[in-house]
Structure 1
Amino acid sequence: MPFPPPSRTPRGVRRRSLIVSAASAAVLAGCSAAPDPVAGGGSTSVSARARARAARDSEALLRQYDAVLAAHPALAERLRPLRAQVAAHAAAFTEGASEGGTATAFTEGASEGGTATASPSATASASPSPEVPADERSALAALATAERGLADRRAKELLDVPGELARLLAGVSAAGSAHAYLLTEGEK
């Protein structure tokens, strides 16, 4: 019995889709609309501060994506899905302050082909636009470094927050690590 001819789809596309899908599934699995039973009186302020910091960090990363897209429009097809997920993360942290907002933000924006965008207040900020390297490869490397650094910080922070927020931070950290990989995949 002859073997079927090899697929003409480049190998990286399947791997990229698998990684992004796995990261999205991890994020979705970690999200819950149920109230956190661990969050007691004292941990609420810890959760609120951690959630606000995570939202600010996601919004800053979103501004960095926007700056790279503005400077290098040729990267739009590659960066648009990653940017949409970062926007969904920012929305999840922002909306998560109200009960049940987290799951809604991810189901609307993190699915494949989602077009999640952050609210105008999330992208309009007094902080200046991030500087973008002149060449595309360096711009992608800078984004990957930002994603990796934020993912590492979130992985450390999740140890200090209660259940639901810890799961959300873990999922978003995993997605950030996958984004960093996808941004640097072409260099190998």
Structure 2
Amino acid sequence: MPSYPTPSHARSGPRRRSLLTGAAGAAGAVLLSGCSDSASTDADERPSAAARLRARAARDSGELLGRYDAVIAAHPSLAGRLGPLRAEVKRHEAVFAEGSAPPTPPPSSGSRSPSASPSRKPSVPKDEKDAVRELAKAEKELAKSRGIDLLDAPDELARLLASVAASGAAHAYLLTEGDK
């Protein structure tokens, strides 16, 4: 038995810890709502910017997919090694295309640049190792670009870009490790 007197009945009402926890939760809610209120001014612009970012990411994945297809067509012996990576890139393209903005029509008066032409096939080196190195370089550059893009993206799209950028970096690693 303790040497100090204990109350014979349980306290009614909230305890100090409960009050402090509740106050901290209320303060956090006020801070979060303050943040969301300031972001709501950009609500009109943000969805279209996010849709444009998704469209660009889908287009970039499509171009990378075209590179994989060109390398596999030029070097069929690499199909087994590149097939799983190509399948991942194809999934990335599909996921980005789901919520992207519709493509804008090309300007009617100007000519399109060769890099913007979807029918243009990328050149493939004659040497298999050089072709794979170019694929690795393209994967690495795209992963870096997506890492930069995610800084300005809304939360869910930023997570997707980060995930796909990490996947691209892993692809680059796998492509370069096969040469060793």
Coarse TM-score class (shorter-chain normalised)? 0.5 to 0.7
Give the Cα–Cα distance (whole angstroms) in 2 for the partners of residues 139 and 170 of structure 1. Answer: 26
Give the Cα–Cα distance (whole angstroms) in 2 for the partners of residues 97 and 50 of structure 1. Answer: 7
Aligned positions of 1:16-55 closer than 5 A: 40-55=43-58
Give the Cα–Cα distance (whole angstroms) in 1 for the partners of residues 153 and 55 of structure 2. Answer: 13
SS of the equivalent of 2:178 reads: helix
Aligned positions of 1:27-176 closer than 5 A: 40-97=43-100, 126-176=118-168
Structure 1 ranges of 4+ moved more than 6 A: none
Coordinate RMSD, CA, aligned: 1.8
SS of the equivalent of 2:45 reads: helix
Q: Structure 1 residue 126: deviation in Å?
A: 3.5
Question: Identical aligned pairs, as a percentage?
Answer: 59
Q: Is the 8 A contact 2:51 2:99 kept in 1?
A: no
Mark the structure with the bigger radius of gyration.
2
Give the Cα–Cα distance (whole angstroms) in 2 for the partners of residues 185 and 40 of structure 1. Answer: 44
For residues 27-85 of structure 1, what are the alpha-carbon distances to aligned partners after superposition, in whole Å with 9 as ceiling and x for unaligned?
xxxxxxxxxx9783221111011001101100000000000000000001100000000
Gap runs ≥5 in structure 2: 1-35, 102-116
Gap runs ≥5 in structure 1: 1-36, 99-124
1:185 aligned to which of 170, 177, 180: 177
Q: Structure 1 residue 160: deviation in Å?
A: 0.4
Task: Give me the TM-score of the superposition, normalised by structure 1.
Answer: 0.64
Q: Is the 8 A contact 2:125 2:131 kept in 1?
A: yes
Q: Is the 8 A contact 2:147 2:162 kept in 1?
A: yes
> Compared with structure 1, are the counterparts of its residues 126 and 136 closer, same or farther at alpha carbon in structure 2 (3 Å cutoff)?
same
Q: How many residues align?
A: 126
